[in-house]
């Protein structure tokens, strides 16, 4: 009986350590993308393969909520990863999708299936202290030809 209890305890510890390792790997992956945003880039104002829209809403406390909507993909875009950073923001907490989750997201102009994480559009939201919001956004995806693309 003691052996069974000991084996159960060991298995719980091993499973817990694996989950913590996955979380740390996701956080390191997220931080790598933050570093890419912090480096000088040639930022574009639009993409040829999808629409990107910024929506601003004034909050009662004087702050501004921003929503970044990415939709209307021209073709299927797989393994979507997006992170956005407000220019001059010093707090290291940036809206993202596909970086901290153990999920892979797909933008498809003709098909939606939430169980398979296939959407026609995605949304990221954040709060700004100022009413003028300027964002640096990194969108990474794989094309139908399996080409990895990063757009800033």
pTM of the model: 0.79
| Closest among 138, 145, 127, 3 to 70, alpha carbons compared | 138
- Specify the pLDDT at position 141: 96
Say which DSSP state 125 is in: E
In 3D, which of 107, 78, 99 has the Cα closest to residue 36?
Answer: 99
Q: What is the pLDDT along the chain (152 residues), one digit of tens a residue?
A: 555 444 344 444 444 444 456 555 667 878 888 888 888 888 888 899 999 999 999 999 999 999 999 999 999 999 999 999 998 877 778 999 999 888 899 999 999 999 999 999 999 999 998 888 999 999 999 999 999 999 98
Residues 6+ apart with CB under 8 A from 43: 136, 137, 152
């Amino acid at each position: 009986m003691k052996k069974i209890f000991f084996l159960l305890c060991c298995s719980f510890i091993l499973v817990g350590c694996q989950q913590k390792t996955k979380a740390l790997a996701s956080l390191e992956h997220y931080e790598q993308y933050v570093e890419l945003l912090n480096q000088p880039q040639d930022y574009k104002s639009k993409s040829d393969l999808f629409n990107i829209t910024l929506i601003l809403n004034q909050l009662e406390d004087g702050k501004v909520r921003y929503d970044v909507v990415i939709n209307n993909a021209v073709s299927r875009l797989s393994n979507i990863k997006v992170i956005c950073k407000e220019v001059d923001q010093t707090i290291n907490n940036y809206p993202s999708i596909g970086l901290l989750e153990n999920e892979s997201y797909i933008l498809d102009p003709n098909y939606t299936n939430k169980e398979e994480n296939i959407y026609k559009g995605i949304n990221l939201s954040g709060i700004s202290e100022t009413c003028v919001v300027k964002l640096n956004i990194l969108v990474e995806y794989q094309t139908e030809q399996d080409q990895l693309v990063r757009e800033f």
